[in-house]
Amino acid sequence: MDVESKATNTVWHCSQVTREKRGALLDQRGCTIWLTGLPSSGKSTTAFALECHLIKLGFLAYVLDGDNVRHGLNKDLGFSAREREENIRRVAEVAKLFADAGLIVITSFISPYRKERDFARRIHMDAGLDFAEIFVDTPLTVCETRDPKGHYAKARRGELKGFTGIDDPYEPPLSPELVIDTAQYSPEAIVEQIIDFLVSEGQLPLSVRLLTQSVGRAR
C-alpha cells in the first residue's frame, strides 16, 4: 500500500486527546469506584454486577480485583504489611490510568486502612479525576456466616494470622460517597443505587435513569 500518497490526500489535524473528547466518545466520564469492606462483605459480587450492568447499558466499565492484579502486575508481592500497602498503591495508580482513559473502573479490594484509601483518593483529585469511595458495610457477623473459603473459621482458630476483621483492624471510611449493605439489599438493588449515584454525579448521562428499567441502551 502506498501510505504516503494516502496520507497526502488526508486532511486531519490531531492535537491532544482531551478528557472531553473521550467523554463524548463513550457518553460517560471516567472515574474510579473504590469498593472497600471486610472479607466476604460482597465487594466482588457488587463489582461484577455493576460492571455487567454498565456494559449492558452501553458504558465501558472494568473491574480490578485480586484475580487480575495479584496474578499479574502484583504477583511479585506477598502479604506482609509493606507488600499489602504496595499492592493497594499500585491498584490506585492503575485505577487512575483507567479513569484517565475514560473508563468507569471498579476496584474490589478489602483496602482496610484509611491511609491507603486516602492516597488513592488524593492521586485522583490531584489529576482532576473523579473518585468515589463506596463502603460495603456488611456486618461482620454476616460476612463470617458467608465465609465461602473458610478463612474466618481459620482466623478464629488462630490458623490464619493478620486476617482483617478478626486479628487485623478494618478502619471504616469516615465520609464515603456511598454506603451499601449487602445483607439488606440484593446485588441488583445495590447496582441501581450506584448507577443512580453515578448519574447524580455526572459520570453517566441523565437518560440512564430511563434505561435502567430496560434491557439495553440504544446506540
Which residues make up the interface to its own copies (CB under 8 A)?
Answer: 1, 3-4, 6-7, 9-12, 14-17, 21-22, 25-26, 48-49, 51-53, 55-56, 58, 60, 62, 64, 68-69, 72-73, 76, 86, 90, 93-94, 96-98, 100-103, 123, 185-186, 188-193, 196, 212-213, 215, 219
CA 5, CA 15: separation in Å to the nearest integer? 22
Cα dihedral 87, 183, 52, 199 sign = negative
Task: Report d(CA 174, CA 60) in Å as an integer.
Answer: 29
Minimum distance from residue 188 beta carbon to its own copies (Å): 4
Tell me, yes or no, if 111 is annotated catalytic: yes
Residue 98 or 152 with smaller CB distance to its own copies: 98
Q: Which of 40, 111, 200, 207 is catalytic?
A: 111
In the bound state with its own copies, the residue whose beta carbon lies nearer, of 107 and 164, is 107
Residue 89 CA to its chain's centroid (Å): 14
CA 139 to chain CA centroid, Å, is 21
Question: Of 96, 72, 76, which is closest to residue 86 (Cα–Cα)?
Answer: 76
Q: How far is the CB of 113 from its own copies (least distance, A)?
A: 18
Decide whether 53 or 151 has the Cβ nearer to its own copies: 53
Cβ 138 to its own copies shortest distance, Å: 16
Q: Report residue 193: phi and psi, to 5°.
A: -60, -45
Three-class SS of residue 213? Answer: coil
The nearest distance, CB 166 to its own copies, in angstroms, is 31
Whole-angstrom distance, CA of residue 89 vs CA of residue 120: 7
Residue 106 grid coordinates? 471498579
Nearer to its own copies, 157 or 219 (CB): 219
Q: Which of 184, 147, 143, 191 is nearest to 46 (CA)?
A: 191
Return the number of the residue (99 or 166) whose C-beta is nearest its own copies: 99
Q: Please, what is the minimum distance in Å from the beta carbon of residue 7 to its own copies?
A: 4
- Residues marked as catalytic: 111
